[in-house]
Amino acid sequence: MWSRCFGCGDKCNSSNCFDRHSYLLKIREVYFNYHHDAYNTKVVYLHDPIAMLAAINPSLITYEEGAIRVQKNGITRGLTLLYNKQKRVC
């Protein structure tokens, strides 16, 4: 159980931080209940831990905005790739 603000520490006064963490606490409960009912376990399997990290403490990651494409064919099928025509890959 999270008992403190992971973004700011124990004494968080930011309403934005409070709103974000309140939301995370609510969805955490949904995930715990689902995993308990479906798998009879007291753990949560994270599908995208980086997204959770970004929600908890955005300062721990760097990111770039851009268009994302999902590969539909070939060896990279199912992967999401950042599509940015402005930058050269090679």
CA proximity to 16, closest of 27, 5, 28: 5
Distance CA 18, CA 25 (A): 10
* Residue-wise pLDDT tens digits, 60-81: 888 777 888 889 999 988 888 8
> Which residue did the predictor score with more confidence, 1 or 57?
57
Mean pLDDT (whole number) for 33-46:
85
Instruction: In whole angstroms, give the CA distance from residue 10 to residue 13.
Output: 10
Mean pLDDT score across all residues of the chain: 75
Q: Quick count: other Cβ atoms within 10 Å of Cβ 43?
A: 10
pLDDT band at 4 (very low <50, low <70, confident <90, very high): low
Tell me which residue of 81, 9, 20 sits closest to 52, measured CA to CA.
Answer: 20
| % the chain with pLDDT above 70 | 70
pLDDT grade for 18, boundaries at 50, 70 and 90: low
